[in-house]
Amino acid sequence: MTALLGVELGGRRVLVAGGGPVAARRVQSMRVAGADVVVVAPQLCEELAELVEDRVVRWRCGEVHESDVDKAWLVHTATGDRAVDAQVAAWAEARRVFCVNAGAADAGTARTPATTQVGDVLVGVVSTGPADPGRSRAVRDHLAATLRAGGADLRGRRGRSDADRSGGRRQGRVVLVGGGPGDVELLTLRGRRALAEADVVVTDRLGPRDVLAELHPDVEVVEVGKTPGHHPVPQHEIEQILVEHAQRGRTVVRLKGGDPFVFGRGGEEVLACREAGVPVEVVPGVSSAMSVPALAGIPLTHRGVTTAFHVLSGHEGLTASARETLLDGATLVVLMGVSMLPAMVADALAAGVDPDLPVAIVENGATPRQRVTRAPLRDVVARAADVGVRAPAVIVLGRVAAEGLLDG
């Protein structure tokens, strides 16, 4: 019966008998583990020769001898000659040194699993009966896909309380995750994995809310969502929540709609964490500025129409650069601009922007409630009032917003 065993190879000698491509693959994985690799072979393939030249591994040119096994912690045979591999395996067994026999896996005392690493979790798959590397790889790939999609609870267990058994404090951290415009399927794989590792999730009202139902019941969810004109949890308190949970040794995910660095105040939260000495990571998200128009069939750039676009926060009103964008024929994308729409339209018309310029307003993008309202610049305010446009919405001004642009 074969049993899986994690072996620490850092700084320990591994003998690799053979200099071909199979040996090269094994050497690469052993070097990642920090092993002291010695290759014994009459000649080397190009990949191994480069590693030797870079002094990543050591090479003894010649046939493998029994004495080569003496100081090894692990032996891997890959000579391509079954008889030689069997002899090396016998020498290793006589010295009680584990040996992976590439020539006949069943005859060795160890097997190399098909592995995949997701974050700090390493998963290995190996057959307990006759060696079946194809099946092991297939199972590994399925597990890897599940883990990368956040399909397993990846939270650390040791040290879940403030102190672990050694008396030390678990290192907490913060991960800012861009959740995209709202559809869970537009959340990145890295973002899903971060959520699977989270002890605490600090979330907005926008973004992929449905993913919260997939979290383990033990995960603490902190709601800090803002609505127009109503900010129940001020930004400085949000930053304090992130820092305090991380300082208690927890993995904290700050789940945001869109991308953390596109009007998401992610930069402020990164600075707050760094000032407090808390490790922080940013997982980019699918920005609403680009994805919501795309979901509504509006390209921000289109050959023969425009080759540039400008993204504006509606809170700023129509800035000088935004006016120039419209006058130059580029696309203007406005986030959080519903309440400022009348003022922006008035400014644009006063600046000489074409009154017939197409405008599209996409409400609740990437959700079943998505709705697109179109009108020329001169009429868009009245049209928006007639249909009752409400936030959240993305406003697109430019020729790309014309209805039927992509038809035919």
Q: Is 369:397 a contact under the CB 8 Å cutoff? A: no
Q: Which of 204, 256, 259, 347 is catalytic?
A: 204
Active site residue 256: no
Query: 358 forms bridges with which residues in the sheet?
Result: 376
101-104, long-range: CB within 8 Å, 24+ apart, which pairs? 101/77, 102/18, 102/22, 102/26, 102/76, 102/77, 102/78, 103/77, 103/78, 103/79
The one-character DSSP state at 221 is E
Residue with tokens 């861009």: 178
Distance CA(87)–CA(344), nearest Å, equals 82
Distance CA(108)–CA(173), nearest Å, equals 43
Q: Which of 132, 164, 226, 379 is catalytic?
A: 226
Residue with tokens 């397993």: 152
Do you know the residue count of the chain?
408
Q: Which residues of 300-336 are buried (b: 16+ CB within 10 A; e: fewer)?
A: beeeeebeebbbbebeeebeeebbebbeeebbbbbbb
Active site residue 36: no
- Measure Cα distances from 239 to 15, 172, 202, 233, 263 in Å: 51, 15, 10, 10, 16
Catalytic residues: 204, 226
